[in-house]
Amino acid sequence: MLMSFLMAGVAFAQNNTNSPYSRYGYGQLADQGASNSRAMGGVAYGLRDKQHTNFANPASYTAVDSLTFIFEAGMSLQNTNFDNGTLKTNAKNTSLDYLSMHFRVGNRFGMSLGLLPYANVGYDMQNVIKNNADATKTYAINYYGEGGLHQAYVGLAYKINRKFSIGANISYLWGAVEHAMMLTFPYNDEAFGFMTREHVGINSVKFDFGAQYSYQFGKKHFATFGAVFSPGYNLTNTTYFQEIIGSTTAISGGSSSGLIVKETDLNVPSGIPMTIGAGVAYIYDGRLTVGLDLTYQAWSKVSFMGNEDVFVDRTKVAVGAEYLPDPIGRSFLQRTKYRIGAYYNAPYYKMDDVRASKEWGVSAGFSIPILRSRSYFNISGQYARVKGQTADFIHENQLRVNIGVTFTERWFYKTRVN
């Protein structure tokens, strides 16, 4: 059972989550899409946009033309309301989400490189267990966690023919996740507490593969089918550190001067799951894009800190649309891209042998053209509802604003002088 909680120190944080569910595993998985994808509910696998980087499917890198260089950056602001049926609180977060570059290398190759988050951990909770008969035996359990995993990637795509492209990303995955638990006796100064701290450090390599097939039917109808695959495996360089500090009489609330300190430093297996994704994007007249994505991750087969059967499989369904009134229009509003989307996500968190929560959300946004350039300012809003699977699990309402900029420049051309 997830405890009744009090969020401590919910200030404006650099980590992108304050979710109690980030206590499990690697934490809250980050969105793997750029600004346009996030405004469309996370749709990405079938997108081939010449003005945006789509690192969710590396096969899309061949969409950029040979004269264009694209630089993108995105950040998010988030406010979350937490509710367990008894208590409510709020938390605010901000984070830099991604940096990426995208360009062509040769006639048939496209390339991208950048920095992305993989998962975020950030929570601070307290559970007070009262003893009405004897206040000195009332105790509190504090749970605290921070950290996350990041990835720096380099991707290359090859255009086999006019319709079919393949690509791959190789990423350096690194970071650290720390979880701590402290037991205290707030009404008994003589009682010793108890604390455990677990630290997992990761340095490894991650691979992602993608393919896209495009087909045109009629003069105004165009469709792209996309697929992605990431193999699951144990991470190559994982370190685990555990520290326990406490007394033998901490649980009973008695006083003791005997302090126990135990440290363990081990290499324990922790893995990432096999991921399979498929999607389709339909484009009408170069102005309307409608997309659908399906994602499956085999988390139930992943070990974590040497433990098996700690997660459940994750699935996600996303739908989205983008509308551009006139690609060559003269007015500002005609060249603005309008987007909308929705998604359903069954996360990998497992509690009491069941899936801990389910999540669904909606999003909307637009890309505003920057005057006298081919660049865009991207902004979108997202509402997400995270619902615990039982009444005493925590529920979350998230409001997120995604802000990004896309610089599109013509770098690779020769100036002719007559």
What's 126's domain CATH number? 2.40.160.60
pLDDT tens readout for residues 223-267: 999 999 999 988 877 777 777 776 544 444 444 444 555 556 566
Cβ atoms within 10 Å, residue 109: 16
Residue pair 32/275 in contact (Cβ under 8 Å)? The answer is no
Whether 13 is in a domain gets the answer no
What pLDDT, on the 0 to 100 scale, is given for residue 66?
Answer: 79
Of 203-217, 236-250, 351-365, the poorest mean pLDDT is in: 236-250
Residue 136 reports pLDDT greater than 80:
no
Secondary structure class of 72 (helix, strand, coil): strand
Query: What percent of the chain has pLDDT above 70?
Result: 86
pLDDT at 6 over 60: no
Looking at per-residue pLDDT, the higher value among 8 and 115 belongs to 115
Indicate the average pLDDT of the chain.
84
Q: Is 382 a domain residue?
A: yes
pLDDT at 10: 34
**315 or 413: whose pLDDT is higher?**
315
Residue 14 covered by a domain: no
pLDDT band (50, 70, 90) for residue 4:
very low
Report the C-alpha gap between 115 and 287 in whole angstroms: 30
Amino acid letter, 213 = Y
For 43, the domain range is 20-410
Q: Is the pLDDT of residue 99 over 80?
A: yes
Q: How far is CA 5 from CA 143, 147, 178, 356, in A?
A: 10, 21, 19, 16
126-132, long-range: CB within 8 Å, 24+ apart, which pairs?
Answer: 126/5, 126/6, 126/8, 127/3, 127/4, 127/5, 128/6, 128/186
Residue 84 banded pLDDT, cuts 50, 70, 90 = confident
Sign of the C-alpha dihedral, residues 227, 231, 237, 238?
Answer: positive
pLDDT at 141: 84
Could you tell me if residue 34 is inside a domain? yes
Cβ atoms 204, 238 nearer than 8 A: yes
What was the pLDDT predicted at 391?
A: 58
What distances in angstroms separate CA 412 from CA 48, 69, 415, one per listed residue? 21, 8, 10
The average pLDDT across 385-398 equals 81
Look at residue 193 and tell me if it is in a domain: yes
Enumerate the β-bridge partners of residue 378. 367, 404
Residue type at 32 in one-letter notation: Q
* Contact call for residues 78 and 400 (beta carbons, < 8 A): yes
Cα distances (angstroms) measured from residue 138 to each of 5, 122, 218, 251, 356: 16, 27, 74, 10, 28
* Closest by Cα among 404, 409, 405, 338 to 373: 409
Q: Count Cβ atoms below 10 Å from residue 218 Cβ, excluding itself.
A: 7
The confidence score (pLDDT) of residue 2 equals 33
pLDDT tens column, 320-347: 999 999 877 778 888 899 999 999 999 9
**pLDDT confidence of residue 108:** 92
Instruction: Give pLDDT, residue 236.
Output: 78
Phi, psi of 277 (to 5 degrees): -140, 150
Is residue 323 one of the residues assigned to a domain? yes
> Among residues 318, 239, 393, which one has the least CA distance to residue 47?
318
The structural domain count of the chain equals 1
What would the pLDDT profile of 138-175 be if each residue is shown by its tens digit?
A: 778 888 888 889 999 999 999 999 999 999 999 999 99
Please tell me what DSSP assigns to residue 3. P
pTM: 0.85
15 found inside a domain:
no
